[in-house]
Structure 1
Amino acid sequence: MPAPAFSPRSWARPWRVRTSAPAPSRSSGPRIAVIGNCQADGVAQSLRLNLPGAQVETLPLARLAGRFGHLDRLVRHLAGADHVFAQFFPEGFVPGGNVHALAERVRLRLFPTILFSGFHPDLVHVGDEASLRLSRLVASPIGPYHSAIALFAFRSGLGVDAALRLYESEAFARLGYERMWDASAEYLLRTARDVGLPLDRDFARWCRAGVFMHTLNHPRLAVLGDIARRLAAEDGLPQRGLPVEAYLRDALAEEAVWPVLPPLAERLGVPGSTLFKGDGRTAPPRLLDLPDFVAESFALYARLPSAALACVRVDAWAGDPDIRALFEDAARRTDRAGG
């Protein structure tokens, strides 16, 4: 009788023998805290991608008071961090002081808040903009972003059809929109230099790549990736050098997106659109063409007290006779056309 064939001997442990799992090893990478507004998370994600083993924590400004209660507790929390990167924040976000008070007690590196209206010169905030708090801004049909033309037209008693006549090249020129690129660029580069992170070369590269902002305060992920790269390099942290936009989702693209309106897009040499995209983080985003966006904005303004419609730029327009004449002319042309 032939000998039975046996399977090769296995050195695996029997399944009945339980072995304790190895204790998780503590990461040997740097511990990094990123403090800032809605831009901080993109910077933190970029650092995680390009710094293998790094432990990166995002500390949103809006949650500092609720989480820590006082600057003292925030300081104690940050004592365990190897690197702290922070955007400017004034007093009021956490009791006990502003970012400068924090910098006196914690070694940190400031990085700039990216604000650039060159692609979206008609975009404004309505409400208490100086507070730097989203909760104190009036929402539009797509979020905390409004058209200055639509708001001033409403406050001046124009109708929707008259307002729509003003979204064209001549009106943009008279409103100074064509000059806002240079002014906005100067502001961005100056504020970056003020916090010790000059962005002149980065800005030139962003411009060559096309539209680099979703709204005036929401940069595309590649911009935040460059900020993260600069912060890591200047603190001597070795990086992978991966392009973050190829590996990570752009979270700010899921929120409101303001179009580059055609009269301006033609001048800048970038794709133009009149489609306004709403917040899509919790539900499919609303997409409104320009006439619908203006009409819904008018309906919203009509439900609010006039005191709620505060806007620095539009308030200034009210005292400018040339701008008032521009809007009055649009109203007359609409009346003559029977609109």
Structure 2
Amino acid sequence: MKIVIMAHCQGLAFANCVRALLPDHDVYYLSIYNAKNDEGKEQFIEWISSCDLILTIPLGSEWGPLATEKLTIRFPGRVRRFPAIAFGGYHPDISYIYMPDGSFVGSPLGDYNSTIAAAAYAAALPAEDALDLYNSLFFNRLGYFQEFERAKQWLLSICRSMGYDLSAEFDRWVRQGSFMHSVNHPKIIVSASIACETLRIANIPFDDTINLHDIVPDDQMNGPIWPVYPEISHRLGCSGSYIFKAPNHKNELWNYMDICTFVHESYRMYENIPKEVLLSTPLVRKAFDLMEATL
């Protein structure tokens, strides 16, 4: 069987898990980032037309011929969705901030920004004062301690709508500690679970005794890794720190920084970003308003 997997940054780990479970099948991975223009989309269509099974994350109408609904019509019986995992319960401080042209405002961890750091910069607080806001009192005011349960219910609901009941798997993930590197980069334990469940739903037999964690590399570890803040980890029963890992290229030593360096570097990167841009993100605006009201 020829199987193709279409996804974003989570797709490679998922595809490697599927390939490990089905070593006698031809398993391929296509990154949707290579299909952003019409030519790229048509090349994808030409390539996947010969596949027996197309596994794809849900893609909307903005993806044109690659939209899941269109693929399902064009290749009846061959298309199956699998969930893209997003979970902010361990990292409620992460915000995406957009420039007017749609590009991302960056931080030392790529596209991820600290809500508190961005709001503090917009409020003209010195970096040293911003660092003082990383505490349980301010986290509680921002709703950080409530985010885990909200994110859990949202994730399980989305997965159930796609035919995936991950309640038991979720509990298993949690027992092993934080299962996310960031809000949308799951660890390999999650990718392995989704791969196994996808094959079960598709009625494709595989060896369920394989321990995927032992043989499939976690490529997401090359990307940014956001820490679980100790005040949050203590309540969730997992390990935590204020050590951030920046994205790295293959064969590079990894670049780590503490919260002090991260905030100061974020401030430096915000120097040419208008205040209104930072405050266009609702979470940053909420933190800013709390600062204005209490400091």
Same fold by TM-score greater than 0.5: yes
Q: Quote the Cα distance in structure 2 between the aligned partners of 1:259 and 1:253.
A: 12
SS of the residue 1:288 aligns to: strand
Contact 1:61 1:89 in 2 (8 A): no
Contact 2:18 2:195 in 1 (8 A): yes
Displacement of 1:223 in angstroms is: 0.6
Q: Which of residues 304, 310, 314 in structure 1 aligns to 2:284?
A: 314
SS of the residue 1:215 aligns to: coil
SS of the residue 1:213 aligns to: coil
Question: Structure 1, residues 105-162: CA drift from partner, whole Å, max 9, x if none?
Answer: 123111111001111111111116997xxxx222211211111011101101111111
Higher relative contact order (CA 8 A, sep 6+): 2
Contact 1:111 1:196 in 2 (8 A): no
Q: Which of residues 84, 95, 105 in structure 2 aligns to 1:124?
A: 95
Q: Quote the Cα distance in structure 1 between the aligned partners of 2:62 and 2:140.
A: 39
Displacement of 1:52 in angstroms is: 1.9
Change (3 A) 1:130 1:171: farther
Displacement of 1:311 in angstroms is: 2.1
Displacement of 1:65 in angstroms is: 3.7
Q: Which runs of 5+ in 1 are unaligned?
A: 1-29, 329-339
Q: Kindly indicate whether residue 241 of structure 2 is the aligned counterpart of residue 273 of structure 1.
A: yes
Identity across the alignment (%): 30
Quote the residue 2:23 is aligned against.
Answer: 52
**Bigger radius of gyration among the two:** 1
Q: Quote the Cα distance in structure 2 between the aligned partners of 1:313 and 1:268.
A: 22
Contact 1:175 1:323 in 2 (8 A): no
Q: Kindly indicate whether residue 81 of structure 2 is the aligned counterpart of residue 110 of structure 1.
A: yes
Quote the residue 1:331 is aligned against.
Answer: none
SS of the residue 2:74 aligns to: coil
Change (3 A) 1:301 1:79: same
Q: Kindly indicate whether residue 174 of structure 2 is the aligned counterpart of residue 207 of structure 1.
A: yes
Contact 1:123 1:146 in 2 (8 A): yes
The range that moved more, 100-109 or 156-165, is 100-109
**Number of aligned residue pairs:** 290
- Output the amino acid matched with 2:154: Y
Q: Kindly indicate whether residue 72 of structure 2 is the aligned counterpart of residue 100 of structure 1.
A: no
SS of the residue 2:200 aligns to: helix
- Output the amino acid matched with 1:303: N
Q: Quote the Cα distance in structure 2 between the aligned partners of 1:65 and 1:162.
A: 42
- Output the amino acid matched with 2:71: L
Q: Kindly indicate whether residue 75 of structure 2 is the aligned counterpart of residue 140 of structure 1.
A: no
Q: Kindly indicate whether residue 147 of structure 2 is the aligned counterpart of residue 177 of structure 1.
A: no
Q: Which of residues 253, 265, 276 in structure 2 aligns to 1:284?
A: 253
TM-score (norm. length: structure 2): 0.91
Contact 2:13 2:216 in 1 (8 A): no
